[in-house]
Structure 1
Amino acid sequence: MPTQPQAAPRRGAKRSFGATMVAIAWSFIGLRRKSDFERDAAGAMDPLYVVVAGLIGTALLIGALMLAVRIALA
């Protein structure tokens, strides 16, 4: 049974900040569906949300690594 192609996002149809955080989180661990990537590449993400989400994700990753090192050295 053939699948129908998904509709392209309308111009101006941006992801919410929460959806952007989820997309960035999946990108940090390298698990993204091709359809989601294509949607994001078509302009579905607000660049300001991407920068803020990336900074938050980076801070959380560095914090987790520092915690892991402290636990390992304790």
Structure 2
Amino acid sequence: MSFWQTMRAVGWSFFGVRKSADYEKDVNQLNPVHLIIAGLIGAAVFVTVLVVLVKWVITSGVAA
């Protein structure tokens, strides 16, 4: 599996919406190194988006 296919599989797993057949296919084809790197990138992007969103809400006065 290519790295981008691994990123897609990790992205779908973050949302928890994988078909059983797709999950089984991914388990048999994923490269463990790609999986770890994709997971770290996905987690970093998720945390960054949350931090930016919180800073935006605080500075815009929406939370007041």
TM-score range, shorter chain: 0.7 to 0.9
Paired with 1:30 and 1:67, the residues of 2 have a C-alpha distance of 23
Paired with 2:22 and 2:2, the residues of 1 have a C-alpha distance of 14
- 1:56 partnered with 2:46: no
2:18 is matched with which residue?
32
CA deviation after TM superposition for structure 1 residue 33, in Å = 1.2
CA deviation after TM superposition for structure 1 residue 40, in Å = 1.9
Q: TM-score normalized by structure 2?
A: 0.87
Q: TM-score normalized by structure 1?
A: 0.76
Paired with 1:29 and 1:66, the residues of 2 have a C-alpha distance of 19
Query: Where do 4+ consecutive residues of structure 1 move more than 4 Å?
Result: none
CA RMSD of aligned residues (A): 0.7
Letter in 1 for 2:8: V
1:71 is matched with which residue?
56
Larger helix percent? 2
